[in-house]
C-alpha cells in the first residue's frame, strides 16, 4: 500500500533484521521499527506491534529464520527447537503462525540460507494469496453495495492487500461505488484505528460505527454484505475471528445479509475438527479497562474508561459456526464452509 507516496509491506526482512510497521502507533503516527533478534520479533507478535493472521505468519517465519541465523554451533538443534516453541507460544489462536514456523523449520535442514529463502516465500505467497482473494471476492460486490467488516483484515493484517478488505480495494479500483461500515471500536479498536486508517488512505468512503450498531443498521437495510477475516478455520468450516464476529454472523443470518469469511487456505487447520477444538487466547484485562488516544494538542495518553476497582474478561476471539457462513473467499476461489468443500480445497494436489 502507498503511504506518503511510498510502497510498503507490513513486515519484511533484510539480512537478519525484521522491519515492520508499528501498528500500536497507528493511526496517530506512522513508524517503521527494526527487530534484529528473534526474541524481539516474538515480543512484537505478543504485544501486537504486528497483528493479523498473515502478518503474524510472516513475522513468525522471519523470526524462525532469525533464530536459525542466531543459533550457536554448539547445541544448535536445541536452541532452534526452543526458539520455535517460544515463537509458537506468542499467539496460540493464529493458525498462520504455526503454518509458517513449520515451513521454515522443515526447510532449514542445516542450511540457514534455505530457512531464509523459505521465510521470504511465506511472506511473498501471503501477498499473492491476498491479491487473489481480492479478485475472487470482488465478484460478490455489486455497484452501490454497502459493506460491513469487523476488526482489521486489511493490508496491515497481512503482508499486503489483506483478506476482508482486499475485495473492497479491488471493487474500488474497478470503479464500483461502494460504502464501508467499519466495526470494532472495542476493546483494541482495530476497526476504528486500523481499518478506517487504511480506507482513508485508499480514498474509500466509510464510517466508523460502534460495535453494537451493526445489527440495527442491517435491520434498517443499510448493510447488504458483510466480509470478515479469520485467524483459524476448522476442518468443518467453523471460524475463529476477532471477538464480536459471532454476534455479527447471527444478526446477518436473521436479516438475510450474506456473511463471508475471507482467508487463505493456510488459515485452515485440517487437524482441528471443529471450532470446539480451537484454543481461544485471553488477553490482559487492561485492554478493556483502558483506552489510548491523543488529545486536541496531539499528546498521546492512556486513560481508565471503566469503573475503578472492577475487573474485566478479555477473550480475543470467538468461533462462528459454519452454518452461519455464506462462503469462504480463498486464493483458489469461493468455497462452501463445510467439511467436504474444505477437504477438497486443501488436498495436496491443490496446494503449491
Which residues are known to be catalytic? 231
* DSSP per residue, 14-39: ETTEEEEE-TTTTTT---EEEE-SHH
Contact indicator for 161, 185 with CB cutoff of 8 Å: no
| CA distance readout (Å), 57 to 142, 143, 349 | 32, 34, 23
d(CA 221, CA 215): 10
Structure-block grid coordinates of residue 149: 467488516
For the chain, how big is the Rg over CA atoms in Å? 20
d(CA 15, CA 7): 20
Q: Three-state SS string across 2-14, please?
A: EECCEECCCEEEE
CB atoms within 10 A of CB 47: 12
Single out the residue of 105, 98, 96 nearest to residue 229, CA to CA. Answer: 96
Structure-block grid coordinates of residue 60: 513468525
Q: Return the DSSP state at 195.
A: I
CB-based burial, 262-282: b 16+ in 10 Å, e otherwise:
bbbbbbbbeebeebeebebbe
Which phi and psi angles does 343 have, rounded to 5°? -60, -40
Contact indicator for 60, 100 with CB cutoff of 8 Å: yes
Amino acid at each position: 500500500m502507498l503511504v506518503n507516496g511510498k510502497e510498503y509491506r507490513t513486515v519484511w526482512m533484510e539480512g537478519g533484521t525484521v522491519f515492520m510497521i508499528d501498528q500500536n502507533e497507528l493511526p496517530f503516527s506512522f513508524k517503521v521499527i527494526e527487530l534484529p533478534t528473534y526474541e524481539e520479533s516474538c515480543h512484537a507478535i505478543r504485544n501486537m506491534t504486528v497483528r493479523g493472521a498473515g502478518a503474524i505468519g510472516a513475522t513468525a517465519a522471519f523470526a524462525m529464520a532469525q533464530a536459525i541465523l542466531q543459533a550457536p554451533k554448539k547445541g544448535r538443534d536445541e536452541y532452534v527447537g526452543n526458539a520455535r516453541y517460544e515463537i509458537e507460544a506468542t499467539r496460540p489462536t493464529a493458525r498462520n503462525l504455526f503454518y509458517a514456523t513449520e515451513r521454515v523449520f522443515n526447510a532449514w535442514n542445516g542450511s540457514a540460507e534455505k530457512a531464509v529463502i523459505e521465510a521470504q516465500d511465506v511472506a511473498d505467497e501471503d501477498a499473492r494469496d491476498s491479491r487473489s482473494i481480492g479478485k475472487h471476492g470482488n465478484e460478490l460486490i455489486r455497484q452501490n453495495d454497502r459493506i460491513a467488516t469487523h476488526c482489521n483484515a486489511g493490508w496491515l493484517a497481512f503482508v499486503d492487500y489483506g483478506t476482508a478488505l482486499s475485495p473492497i480495494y479491488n471493487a474500488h479500483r474497478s470503479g464500483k461505488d461502494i460504502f464501508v461500515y467499519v466495526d470494532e471500536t472495542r476493546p483494541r479498536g482495530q476497526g476504528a484505528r486500523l481499518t478506517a486508517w487504511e480506507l482513508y488512505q485508499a480514498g474509500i468512503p466509510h464510517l466508523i460505527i460502534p460495535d453494537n450498531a451493526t445489527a440495527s443498521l442491517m435491520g434498517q437495510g443499510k448493510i447488504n454484505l458483510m466480509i470478515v477475516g479469520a485467524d483459524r478455520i476448522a476442518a468443518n468450516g467453523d471460524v475463529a475471528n476477532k471477538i464480536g464476529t459471532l454476534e455479527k454472523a447471527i444478526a446477518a443470518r436473521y436479516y438475510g445479509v450474506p456473511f463471508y469469511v475471507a482467508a487463505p487456505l493456510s488459515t485452515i487447520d485440517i487437524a482441528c475438527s471443529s471450532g470446539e477444538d480451537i484454543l481461544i487466547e485471553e488477553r490482559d484485562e487492561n485492554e478493556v479497562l483502558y483506552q489510548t488516544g491523543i488529545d486536541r494538542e496531539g499528546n498521546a495518553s492512556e486513560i481508565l474508561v471503566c469503573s475503578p476497582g472492577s475487573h474485566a474478561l478479555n477473550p480475543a476471539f470467538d468461533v462462528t459456526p459454519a452454518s452461519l457462513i455464506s462462503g469462504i473467499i480463498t486464493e483458489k476461489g469461493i468455497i462452501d464452509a463445510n467439511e467436504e468443500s474444505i477437504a477438497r480445497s486443501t488436498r495436496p494436489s491443490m496446494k503449491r
